[in-house]
Structure 1
Amino acid sequence: MTTFQYTDRPSPFSAAGAAAKIVYAVTPAEIEQGALDARALAWAKSAAFTGEAGAFLLVPGEGGEIGCALFGLGANPSEAPFIGGKLSKLLPAGDWQVQTGALTPEQAALGFGLGSYGFSRYKSDKRKDVRLSIAGGADAADIERQLAGVFLARDLVNTPTNEMGPAELEAAFRALGEHYGATVTAIVGDDLIKENFPLVHTVGRASVSAPRLLEMRWGQKGDPRITLVGKGVCFDTGGLDIKGAANMALMKKDMGGSANVMGLALMIMDAGLKVDLQVIVPAVENSISGNAFRPGDIYKSRKGLTVQIDNTDAEGRLILADALAYADENPPELLVDMATLTGAARVALGAELAPYFTDDEKLSSRLAEAAKAETDPMWRLPLWMGYDKDIRARAADLTNSPSGGMAGAITAALFLKRFVTATERWVHFDIYAWVTADKPHAPVGGEAFAIRALYKVIRDMAAK
């Protein structure tokens, strides 16, 4: 079976057996020691190429044609293992192979592949056809699989809301599930009330695109149950507590949690992992109209807890509450939720680190180990119960927006924790889903956070 692609694009990798020119990826020490092809070394010295990180040099052949290329890894390649992503933009068109002792074949290929991504759906520019040969010993199929998952997440986040509202997100969700033979269902509009998803309905009812609860089931019963829940707010105006223009500009990415769990689901299904997979996405648009929910309203959740609305711009935790309560009714072995939930998480850890919350020490250790092994950074924040008092409301069980403005990422996580009471192993990710400045392996735009590390954790679970 071919790997699912939301956007058709050619593989960044060469076909087997293709003739390829060499890229020597080297450190400054290797240049100084002369550990390089003699002709390339002579050309490097004449051009003052020292192997600094990101430095690039084409080396002519005997007839003046391009013979090979040099690429600098810097003195500490382990600090930037995906720096090879730059090569996808620097190399001339054609087939290339990287020779290096400083990076593993997987790092070289994955870095190049990640860096090759471009979102050109609305542009007439043509992509330069640069391809890399994956070195022997690397699992080419798994590298392609991880790229497909990351690219799916990026594509979904990058697509503007006029073409990625709740209905379009459902279409993408269905296409992914159907590609791998999964069962996909949707509860739409007023049926959410009938099926007891009142908070999902409340947040999304003001939009012309009806709110919905999407569910995907794949795998065999009896295998480890894995449930992924992703926040799918396709656009967030803030509701009646409307955002300012600057804060609203990027709100197409507020469905980044759903995009990330869909990318992770792609990896799991494409690998054929022996798991019983459930994916849940509450998909809404937080809009303004005559029937929009209001500050001061109180609603009963699926779990029965009542929630006082103290800010309509704290809507993500509302739809997640119903989705998590649903997932918790049949407790999985692992429950993961991902959401672009709070600005407080960005204040705490910035745009590059994915904060996660869990009470499970073994799970946290596995996540930390996988993050390091896969160069997919994340950082644990505490579910500090001392702040639980802050999510209580005077007129209801809970408030969706504690006053005081402190520890916002923690109080949001504690709010969600109230809806996960039976599942023993739960982790909540508060992600940004966006790259703010170009990196070698990621352009500005939508991004996958922590899903390669989560894929490793789940793959290890499935193998036991």
Structure 2
Amino acid sequence: MSSYCYIDRPSVLTEKSAASRPVHAVTAADMEDGTIDAAALAWARATGFAADAGSLLLVPGADGTLAAALFGLGSEPDAALSAGKLSKLLPAGDWHVESRLPEDRIALGFGLGSYSFRRYRQDKQKQVRLALGDEVRIEVERQLAGAFLARDLINTPTNDMGPEDLEVVFRALGQHYGAQATSIVGDDLLAQNFPLIHAVGRASAQAPRLLEMRWGRQGAPRVTLVGKGVCFDTGGLDIKSASNMALMKKDMGGAANVLGLALMIMDAGLDVDLRVLVPAVENSIAGNAFRPGDIYRSRKGLTVQIDNTDAEGRLVLADALSYADETPPDLLIDMATLTGAARVALGTDIAPFFTDDEALATRLSEISREENDPMWRLPLWPGYDKDLKSRAADITNAPSGGMAGSITAALFLKRFVGKQTRWAHFDIYGWTLSEKPHAPLGGEAFAIRTLYRYVRDLAGQ
């Protein structure tokens, strides 16, 4: 098992015991209504502690030893996630939280904030652990494991996370949970009718491949996850600038996120028939690279004119989605770091998603608010579908004009999904640009806590 893949659960949580100290997560109002014991309240007032968001006050006992801590929640809507600071601010040892907020929300924030990427540098860290009851601890550990797997995969540079390496992780995850994992590699993609995946990845030193995992009970609700696995994107012959290429190790963020989500689903033993598809490629430049102006017939039969080789993610997803929809699932989700237009529209913190299923959109939006897992629905506006027209082929991969780029990309993908399929497309960023209490700078999991809960509901669990 690769040491950087959090298939084994994180160790920042522990079982409850009498040895743990209390940390009171409080608002300013809690300091006025008797929530805090008198001695701690007197100490807070003497030191001027006002429960501002992210503030910490250590409280001494009568004998001068450390007895407790107060942690300020402020009044922010994601107050529970601010508990990510606790893993860095608290002294070493075991702690338990006392708060009006749900214990699992505080624990999740704490755990997410404890993450660090350690594959290439071993920083000395304090051993701060949060003590929880078994049921809460196991569920929070499961969600942390999924998020940490996604973060680790995105943070790993392409020299150690190319298509071959991603397949190793994919198979290891499947083996851990008793899933069946297979792959179609190199020219076999052409033989088995995945021409777009092959075209995008053929110029790389590592052969393109389609990874497939099957797990769960046949006859259960069918859930299919598709993740864009472009392990590095030079832009191809329409080469990116140096600044735009700098973060392109994260262009497999869709694959990383669906693997994190799959981990949570399998670890929870949800009663679903799970299928995971990852087209894993590197969009490189060589004499055999695909070119602007080329036309390819997709797996579905639609011909696609290549008007920009930097619009490659939708190509590999097109073949994968067509394949997924040949056995129509009850839920089809694809995730991809697809367009800069999505970032312009919603910034880097909110995951845009597209679906024509009103019930699905409504429920996902409800769960995202409850889970502090921000996402926002954007329209599959049919008026822009005409922009996909090509003079020589059925559709173009890069409409001209530069307008509504995230929507036209989603409309492109929609061409490869059946009208009756319950489908949602997530155009995620996969990266945190500036440190947050619950999210250090670097690779990030988007929307998978919401999707996990939706699938759990679908499974009746």
The TM-score with structure 1 as length reference comes to 0.96
* Distance (Å, rounded) in 2 between the aligned partners of 1:97 and 1:193: 56
State yes or no: 1:276 paired with 2:270. Answer: no
Is this contact kept in 2: 1:59–1:67, CA < 8 A? yes
* Distance (Å, rounded) in 2 between the aligned partners of 1:19 and 1:197: 58
Identify the match of residue 316 of structure 1 among 310, 313, 316: 313
Aligned to 2:423: 426
Aligned to 1:257: 254
For structure 1, the 5+ residue unaligned runs are: none
Aligned to 1:53: 53
Is this contact kept in 2: 1:105–1:135, CA < 8 A? no
Matches within 5 A, 1:20-39: 20-33=20-33, 35-39=35-39
Shift of 1:9: 7.2
* Distance (Å, rounded) in 2 between the aligned partners of 1:287 and 1:172: 22
Identical residues among aligned pairs (%): 69
Is this contact kept in 2: 1:328–1:422, CA < 8 A? no
1:177-215 CA distance string (max 9 Å, x none): 010000000000010000100000000000001100000
* Distance (Å, rounded) in 2 between the aligned partners of 1:33 and 1:354: 38
For structure 2, the 5+ residue unaligned runs are: none
Matches within 5 A, 1:389-428: 389-421=386-418, 423-428=420-425
Is this contact kept in 2: 1:7–1:155, CA < 8 A? no
Shift of 1:31: 2.2
Give the length in aligned residue pairs: 458
State yes or no: 1:325 paired with 2:322. Answer: yes
Letter in 2 for 1:73: L
- Cα-Cα RMSD: 1.5
Shift of 1:81: 2.3
Aligned to 1:345: 342
State yes or no: 1:15 paired with 2:15. Answer: yes
Identify the match of residue 371 of structure 1 among 368, 372, 375: 368
Aligned to 1:62: 62
Letter in 2 for 1:336: I
User: CA 1:6 to 1:209, structure 2 compared with 1: closer, same or farther past 3 Å?
Assistant: farther
Is this contact kept in 1: 2:223–2:332, CA < 8 A? yes
* Distance (Å, rounded) in 2 between the aligned partners of 1:92 and 1:423: 55
Identify the match of residue 210 of structure 1 among 199, 207, 211: 207
Aligned to 1:286: 283
* Distance (Å, rounded) in 2 between the aligned partners of 1:421 and 1:122: 44
Tell me the secondary structure at the aligned position of residue 124 of structure 1.
coil
User: Stretches of 4+ moved more than 6 A in 1?
Assistant: none
* Distance (Å, rounded) in 1 between the aligned partners of 2:52 and 2:262: 38
Q: 115-124 or 205-214, which moves further after superposition?
A: 115-124
User: CA 1:423 to 1:192, structure 2 compared with 1: closer, same or farther past 3 Å?
Assistant: farther
Aligned to 1:197: 194
Is this contact kept in 2: 1:344–1:408, CA < 8 A? yes
Aligned to 1:232: 229
Tell me the secondary structure at the aligned position of residue 405 of structure 1.
coil
Letter in 1 for 2:43: W
Tell me the secondary structure at the aligned position of residue 278 of structure 1.
strand
* Distance (Å, rounded) in 2 between the aligned partners of 1:353 and 1:219: 31
Matches within 5 A, 1:92-111: 92-101=91-100, 103-111=101-109
Aligned to 1:87: 86
Identify the match of residue 169 of structure 1 among 166, 170, 173: 166
Shift of 1:8: 6.0
* Distance (Å, rounded) in 1 between the aligned partners of 2:126 and 2:227: 34
Is this contact kept in 2: 1:155–1:446, CA < 8 A? yes
Is this contact kept in 2: 1:384–1:410, CA < 8 A? yes
* Distance (Å, rounded) in 2 between the aligned partners of 1:9 and 1:277: 21
Is this contact kept in 1: 2:9–2:142, CA < 8 A? no
* Distance (Å, rounded) in 2 between the aligned partners of 1:39 and 1:18: 20
Identify the match of residue 130 of structure 2 among 129, 132, 139: 132
Q: 174-183 or 418-427, which moves further after superposition?
A: 418-427
Tell me the secondary structure at the aligned position of residue 310 of structure 2.
coil
Is this contact kept in 2: 1:331–1:422, CA < 8 A? no
1:341-384 CA distance string (max 9 Å, x none): 00000000000110000000111111111111211111000000
User: CA 1:422 to 1:384, structure 2 compared with 1: closer, same or farther past 3 Å?
Assistant: closer
Aligned to 1:72: 72
1:392-449 CA distance string (max 9 Å, x none): 1111111110000000000000000000025420000000011111111111111111
The TM-score with structure 2 as length reference comes to 0.97
Is this contact kept in 2: 1:20–1:97, CA < 8 A? yes
Identify the match of residue 359 of structure 1 among 356, 361, 364: 356
Shift of 1:6: 3.4
User: CA 1:398 to 1:161, structure 2 compared with 1: closer, same or farther past 3 Å?
Assistant: same
Shift of 1:11: 1.1
* Distance (Å, rounded) in 1 between the aligned partners of 2:96 and 2:305: 59
Is this contact kept in 2: 1:6–1:172, CA < 8 A? no
